[in-house]
Amino acid sequence: MLKSLLTLSLFLGIETCSKAQNLLQNGDFETHGRLDCINCPMFGYKFSAVIPPWKTINGSYPFVCDCQYKKEAAAANDGICDFRKVSPHSGCNMMEFEYTPSCMDQNHKTRGCSAYLGTKLLQALEIGKVYEISLWLYILPSPPSDSAYTQYIGINLYPDAVRNPSGKLLESAAFHLDTVIFGHWYRVKWLVRPVCNLQFLVLGVFRGHDDPPVNLKGHHNRFYIDDVAIREATGIKDASLAITPYCRFSKKEKEEIPEEIDGTICFFNSNDSLLSPLAMAALDSFALRAAANPSTAFIIVGRTDSIGSQHKSLSFARIKSALDYLKETHGVHRFRFLPIGLGTDNPLAVNTTEAGRQQNRSVQIQQMDCPLHMMVYRNVLLHVFAGEKPEAFKLLNIWLNLVPDRKKILALFDPRLDALKSDPKWKAVVIKKVRESYRTQQQPALSFALDSLGLEDQKCRLLNRYVENMQVYLADTDSTDRRWNVSYFSDTSYLCPIRDEAHVQALINLIGNDWPKISEVGERPTKTAFLVVSHTGDTAIIVRYLPLLKQRCQAGEAEWIHFATLSDRMLVHRGLPQRYGTQYQPPSSASEKLRLFPLQNAAMVNEWRKELGLEPLLSIE
């Protein structure tokens, strides 16, 4: 009875797809060749021959479980295809999968291994249509340390057959389980609207935006899959059912949030910056916490009481004493700190009593919630402002080892570093390391060139804001200091149209009659082609590249929003109504609301957007 209830609950809201063609061959695994050994892993070349058209994906190997196969006595209790615990959902065959949290990939970079099974569909899923992907799943109970892996069981779809030479966990987050049931067969399904040509299915455990549990305990966590099907869904009745527009998995960048740790405060004698034994003890305790959290940044604030003069310089002298001690005694580097000398400003206590003045004769250290690379970059700039080139290059080298690869190139476009760019070290160290950050791309030289062109394009637009945010910025102290500002041109209205046309020619020189692929150069360099073409007023250029962009979108190698935007822009340039609603008329005043250029069909615009996996327009005006 339980099995029937589980099945029924997952069918509500959608008409049966049983009449539609199953786009998978041998989804019930009933057709297979001779099994010489049911519990022996079969390498790829043999697996495909035994159970066509399925293939393994270079991870652990799934097992073909045939209820008619009789194990030898020695293998009766090995746990593989244990029909005493589970029988196939239908027929006599099922596939056994395994997730091992202690396993390492062949490059020893990641932990966690999964068996994978993949197959090419009978035909590619059509862009804009809705398909139901379903399978029957049976999960054996796992140890508590591993059981969370089950949330990462699922499927993924690809434009072409996927390869995985290192045997690492494949990445996907769109088609994981939202319900986990142990010890029963239950049906799992997903509704997908392809936004590129998807024609290869993979089953297994996938690394998503987070990872499944990994450990060194060596457990073999097993689950079974049977009766896999992909059919066009033609009768969706419940509008609340989730339909996933999908082409490829794009991993979200995880925000690194350092562990919260306590700072410290140390006190000084009046008009003095020497550390007392008590101050040293406070700094010793703090240094242990700082050393245990090497990626944490701090703000260090110096204060004075109201007695005497030169309060600012004294507060900075006290900061220097504390930082010198931390560096020389404990190796805690200065570049992790943002020094603020307040003097008598913002006192901790009133200066009318001795107890209050004692509180104000202090240096206070507090954790700062920012990535360490931003603090380091601020200190790079401070050295540049002070004319200290050797120190600036030393910290810039540290910054290049800390900052994410995608941000390294921004240093080449920071005019505040111009004083360093004539030094031989700039080319030998900085440019070299920036270019090396593109080595993971299939075409690193083209990727770097496109990324550079894209940033040149943005000099007339928003690049200054991105560069200004490379370092920690304190509005109350930095807003009046023009050294922190980034500016490229004084007259953008005259210069930028000229630059835009030059960028188009530069793009043509780079890509010719082609359009870059995300898989070859990366997402941001691919976006450069879109940005440069979109900023030209020459519709002949848009017409030239629009079919190439569409082909890339269909293959999952470009973004449909770029195609929709260029399509609409070309129509608007020609004085025609737009199709996808991406183009807005410039407002005549700051208070005027943005209004869309005329649409071809306001009633259909969101349907056309849905076909491309774009969000609907909430307001059509």
Q: What is the pLDDT of residues 410-447, one digit of tens each?
A: 999 999 999 999 999 999 999 999 999 999 999 999 99
Q: What average pLDDT score do residues 262-286 get? A: 96
**pLDDT for position 127:** 93
What pLDDT band is residue 2 in, cutting at 50, 70 and 90?
very low
Domains of the chain: 2-246 (2.60.120.260), 264-369 (3.30.1330.60), 374-428 (no CATH)
pLDDT for 13 beyond 80: no
CA dihedral for 167, 168, 171, 173, sign (positive or negative) = positive
Q: pLDDT tens, 466-506?
A: 999 999 988 878 888 999 999 998 877 788 899 999 999 99
What pLDDT band is residue 47 in, cutting at 50, 70 and 90?
confident
3-state secondary structure 261-307: CCCEEEECCCCCCCCCHHHHHHHHHHHHHHHHCCCCEEEEEEECCCC
What pLDDT band is residue 77 in, cutting at 50, 70 and 90?
low
**pLDDT for position 45:** 67
How is 427-490 classified by DSSP, letter by letter? Answer: IIIIIHHHHHTTTTSSSHHHHHHHHHHHHHHHTTTTHHHHHHTTS---HHHHTT-GGG-----S
Reported pTM: 0.81
Distances (CA, A) of 24 to 47, 229, 234, 285, 591: 17, 6, 18, 64, 56
Helices (H), 294-443: 311-330, 354-360, 372-385, 389-402, 405-408, 424-425, 432-436
**pLDDT for position 269:** 95
Instruction: Give the separation between CA 138 and CA 116, rounded to whole angstroms.
Output: 16
**Residue of 291 and 235 predicted with greater confidence:** 291
**pLDDT for position 470:** 95
**Residue of 15 and 407 predicted with greater confidence:** 407
**pLDDT for position 287:** 97
**Residue of 587 and 349 predicted with greater confidence:** 349
**pLDDT for position 61:** 83
Distances (CA, A) of 367 to 121, 261, 415, 464: 54, 7, 30, 28
pLDDT for 592 beyond 90: no
**pLDDT for position 283:** 98
Q: What average pLDDT score do residues 520-543 get? A: 96
What pLDDT band is residue 5 in, cutting at 50, 70 and 90?
very low
Question: What's phi and psi for 67, nearest 5 deg?
Answer: -65, -15
**pLDDT for position 522:** 95
Whole-number average pLDDT of the chain: 90
Under DSSP, the state recorded for 19 is T
**pLDDT for position 9:** 35
**pLDDT for position 369:** 87
Percent of the chain exceeding pLDDT 70 equals 92
Q: pLDDT tens, 85-95?
A: 999 999 999 99
**Residue of 299 and 236 predicted with greater confidence:** 299
∠ CA 529-553-409, rounded to 5°: 35
**pLDDT for position 263:** 96
pLDDT for 582 beyond 50: yes
pLDDT for 273 beyond 50: yes
Under DSSP, the state recorded for 613 is T
**pLDDT for position 18:** 55
Instruction: Give the separation between CA 555 and CA 248, rounded to whole angstroms.
Output: 10
Percent of the chain exceeding pLDDT 90 equals 72
Under DSSP, the state recorded for 90 is S
**pLDDT for position 59:** 62
Q: Which tokens in the block code for residue 16?
A: 């049966």
Distances (CA, A) of 27 to 4, 226, 231, 252: 21, 7, 12, 32
Under DSSP, the state recorded for 74 is G
**pLDDT for position 456:** 97
